[in-house]
Amino acid sequence: MSSNAAATPPPLERISTGTPGLDEIMGGGLLKSGVYIFQGAPGAGKTILANQIVHRHAADGGKVVYVTLLAESHARLLQHMGAFAFFDPSVVPQKIYYVSAFNALRTEGLKGVVNLLRNEMRTRPAGLVVLDGLVMAASAARSDEELKLFVSDIQTHSTLSGCTTLLLTSEQADRPVSAEQTMVDGIVLLRETALGVRRERNIEVVKFRGSATLRGNHAFRIGPQGIVVYPRLESRRPAHGDAPAPEGVSTGVAALDRMFDIGGYAKGSVTALSGASGSGKTTLALHFLAPATPAEKALFVGFYESPQMLRRIAGMLGVRLPADASTLDFMWHTLGENMLDEVAANILERVARNRPARLVIDGVGGLMVAPAFQHRGGSFLAALTNELRALGTTTLVTVEQDDAKRALVLDSATMSALADTVLDMRLKMEPSVRRFISIRKSRVSRCELHERELVLTESGLAVAEEPTIGS
């Protein structure tokens, strides 16, 4: 063994939080023997998160002591947790032991709480301890020094026993740095932010000794399964995959295929179909899905029409879609209270699981209505399409234009980051409505740059073989 190898300390042992997305933000989970503050206003989700973590720890065979400094009864707490799928009443009290330190605090102060914690750590071989109600301990401390000594005692016992400790406090997440925050190994803030008439929860790791965390705010949702954290897509370690291949994937329209020297969209690339409402973007996207086979599946991600309506539209236009749901899959996100990273996570998970060769996202407007898009639009879309390229799927994204000015709703820099190829679709209204298409940009292949007319036939859209510029 070399001297350098002998001097390298072993990696720090970690404990999984069992909360989807949270370990990734923390750089792999909580560190064994660490002391962490989970801070947020009442209702932010701290108690749910702590109980989710302890039940996961118990499910993995560990033991937990959950100490409360609050007046709320344990029976009431357990009733609330019973609404979530992670809650397992069979592990209480053998693996998860709930105990109140409310009377110890009231009669003996912080010293009484420390003694209770010490006794519980000694008598129960717990790998995880939760102290719910640090704000009560802070209010009982006669000075910052006494509170720091209290936290120091907890750190000492955590180190000696090898136990990881979570301190929950209902202080506002953005209050100034406090004495106890300077001492612990990590600080996790939970917030609920008002965005107009809606509210969105987020979580931030502002301090974590010994770990490379994903910085900034990350959205989370509380659902029947408990808490799911969605790491901000731009902050994640980017996936690395092959560049788009100079191999054509049929557009589903023969004459449009011939406008590319490789016979279609480049395999593994991202193509934007830009145009005003009614210019044929969704119809052209349906054509792209039509050649899907069981060996080369397709996925349609939509925000507007339901899968049933899309099939009816395709049938009405003469576009023959695969009938088998395993060949052509639909994801429908209604324009409700979507969160950007939740939508992205769902798309990427479905693509990674089913490996569709063809993917349509219809369209960017469904993502733009999410409140976070205003501040993250370009970087978010660039991160999403990079992930899709790395997964090797060939992707079409529809992008709306302003009907009157034909101005893109995305700026040039964002479009450049989003797409390898851009098809421009326009409407000519006089004397009758006519549709035209041109290839504005292609990074991967040489292509025909003349504008062509799109005409609707009994079998869907077709491209006029001769240029129609000026017609």
Q: What is the pLDDT of residues 122-171, one digit of tens each?
A: 888 899 999 999 999 988 999 989 999 999 999 999 998 899 999 999 98
Task: Using the CB atoms, write b or e for 129-152: b if 16+ within 10 Å.
Answer: bbbbbbbbbbebbeeeebbbbbbe
Coil vs helix vs strand at 301: strand
Give me the pLDDT at residue 471, please: 41
Distances from the Cα of 252 to the Cα of 113, 153, 255, 300, 351, angstroms: 70, 69, 9, 15, 21
Distances from the Cα of 231 to the Cα of 101, 191, 385, angstroms: 35, 15, 16
Quick check: 136 and 100 in contact, CB under 8 A? no
Quick check: 398 and 418 in contact, CB under 8 A? no
Q: 246: cis peptide before it, omega within 30°?
A: no
Question: Which helix (H) or strand (E) covers residue 158, if one does?
Answer: helix 144-161
447 CB neighbour count, 10 Å cutoff: 18
* Cα-based angle 11, 16, 20 (whole degrees, multiple of 5): 130
Gyration radius from the chain CA atoms? 28
For residues 116 and 131, what is the distance between their CA atoms, to the nearest angstrom? 11
For residues 422 and 449, what is the distance between their CA atoms, to the nearest angstrom? 11
Give me the pLDDT at residue 439, please: 94
Model confidence pLDDT, tens digit, residues 244-296: 888 999 999 999 999 999 999 999 999 999 999 889 999 999 999 999 999 99
Highest mean pLDDT among 98-112, 233-247, 364-378: 98-112
Region 50-60: what's the mean pLDDT? 97
240 CB neighbour count, 10 Å cutoff: 8
pLDDT classification of 469: cutoffs 50, 70, 90 = very low
Question: Which helix (H) or strand (E) covers residue 455, if one does?
Answer: strand 452-457
Share of the chain above pLDDT 90, in %: 69
Distances from the Cα of 287 to the Cα of 93, 210, 401, 449, 466, angstroms: 59, 52, 21, 21, 21
Model confidence pLDDT, tens digit, residues 72-101: 778 889 999 999 999 999 999 999 999 999
Give me the pLDDT at residue 403, please: 56
Model confidence pLDDT, tens digit, residues 413-463: 777 778 999 999 998 887 788 999 999 989 888 998 889 999 999 999 999
Region 179-186: what's the mean pLDDT? 86
- Name all domains of the chain by residue range, CATH numbers in brackets: 14-231 (3.40.50.300), 248-463 (3.40.50.300)
| pTM listed for this prediction | 0.89
For residues 289 and 358, what is the distance between their CA atoms, to the nearest angstrom? 7
Centroid of chain to Cα 462: 38
DSSP 227: E
Among residues 227, 458, 271, which one has the least CA distance to residue 359? 271
Asked if residue 1 has pLDDT above 50, the reply is no
